[in-house]
Amino acid sequence: MYRSLYSVLKSVISSKSTGVLEIVHYSDDRGMIYLSQGAIVRVKTSELSGTKAAEQIFSWLSFFAQFKEKPIKITGTPKSVEQTKKIMLYLANVDKKIRKIINDVEGCEAVIALTQTGRDAKDEFTPEDQGVALALDGVKTIIEILVHSELYELEVLLIISGFVDRKFAEIKSPHASVTSDESNRFFEIVVDMLSDITGPVGEIIVDEVCDAMGMARENLCKSDIGPLLNAARKRLDTDEQDALDVRDIVAQAFPEG
């Protein structure tokens, strides 16, 4: 389920709001975009700031975003207004590119396999290409590849799209759904971890999130996992959010190999 950061930011900027847009990635990474009267004045993550932070945040495809209006010490300037226009132009292009890629590969639930042509061309691949190529085993869905990759999500999608265009990879089964065993395991792990953190309301939180997303447990799609877990996190206190290990949930529910 693709979330458009461009659309979220456009709404905040158009309202000329002042405050912080907090972005929580499915991996628990967090980004903050500070705005003053609709102008972006600062971008940071827990470890990065400025251009490096922006590059990381703008590559996220599965996230939860929430804007909080509040006074900030940094004020907008003509320079930051111009910079905001450049950022939005960049994000509009990224948004268009992502939508095209997702359409090309028939959704992030598709299963992709390397073709014989792709296997023969392996010596020509960059190290990044080779890492993605190894994951194209005809079993993993794109969302699983994104979850386990060390590369930014947008970079992985670009590589996969390039492979498909050059006939190095092919779609084996579009829109793969999880099996009933995988779905049961996933929700059991989520409920157990939430219950350890919150007590007996853990399962209630899961049910409420599923209802809010219009999703039945038996109809779980792998591309819904990130947004579902982010929605669950937002119902927790700060300390509880830190205790919820999203990567561990995904790794246990959908182990590699």
Indicate if 9 and 99 belong to the same structural domain: yes
The domain boundary, picked from 156, 173, 190, lies at: 173
Indicate if 144 and 209 belong to the same structural domain: no
Contact yes or no for 233/64 (Cβ under 8 A) = yes
As a whole number of angstroms, the distance between CA 124 and CA 116 comes to: 14
- Give the per-residue pLDDT at 223: 64
Q: Please give the residue range of the domain that contains residue 55.
A: 5-103
Check whether 221 has a pLDDT greater than 60: yes
Task: Report pLDDT digits (tens) over 3-23.
Answer: 688 888 999 999 999 999 999
Indicate if 187 and 230 belong to the same structural domain: yes
From residue 81, how far is each of 41, 42, 94 by CA, in Å? 8, 12, 20
Q: Name the band, by pLDDT with cuts 50, 70 and 90, for residue 2.
A: low
- Residue scoring higher pLDDT (212 or 251): 251
Helix (H, G, I), strand (E, B) or coil at 124: helix
What integer best gives the mean pLDDT of the chain? 84
Find how far residue 170's CA is from the centre of its chain: 23
Average pLDDT over residues 54-60: 86
Which DSSP state fits 170?
Answer: E
Indicate if 226 and 146 belong to the same structural domain: no
Indicate if 123 and 157 belong to the same structural domain: yes
Q: How many domains would you assign to the chain?
A: 3
Q: Name the band, by pLDDT with cuts 50, 70 and 90, for residue 109.
A: low
The domain boundary, picked from 173, 204, 229, lies at: 173
Task: Report pLDDT digits (tens) over 19-52.
Answer: 999 998 867 788 999 999 999 999 999 889 998 8
- Going by C-alpha positions, the residue among 139, 166, 142, 169 that lies closest to residue 154 is 142
Indicate if 184 and 144 belong to the same structural domain: no
Contact yes or no for 215/225 (Cβ under 8 A) = no
Question: What CATH number has the domain bearing residue 125?
Answer: 1.10.10
Task: Report pLDDT digits (tens) over 114-133.
Answer: 999 999 998 889 999 999 99
Q: Which of 75-89, 178-192, 211-225 has the lowest mean pLDDT?
A: 211-225
Indicate if 98 and 111 belong to the same structural domain: no
Indicate if 168 and 240 belong to the same structural domain: no
Indicate if 167 and 191 belong to the same structural domain: no
Q: Name the band, by pLDDT with cuts 50, 70 and 90, for residue 74.
A: confident
As a whole number of angstroms, the distance between CA 21 and CA 69 comes to: 9
**Quick one: what percent of the chain has pLDDT higher than 90?**
28
Indicate if 19 and 72 belong to the same structural domain: yes
Q: Name the band, by pLDDT with cuts 50, 70 and 90, for residue 94.
A: confident
Indicate if 117 and 150 belong to the same structural domain: yes
- Residue scoring higher pLDDT (8 or 239): 8
The domain boundary, picked from 123, 152, 173, lies at: 173
As a whole number of angstroms, the distance between CA 71 and CA 42 comes to: 14
Task: Report pLDDT digits (tens) over 175-185.
Answer: 555 678 888 88
Indicate if 129 and 195 belong to the same structural domain: no
Check whether 257 has a pLDDT greater than 60: no
Find how far residue 71's CA is from the centre of its chain: 29
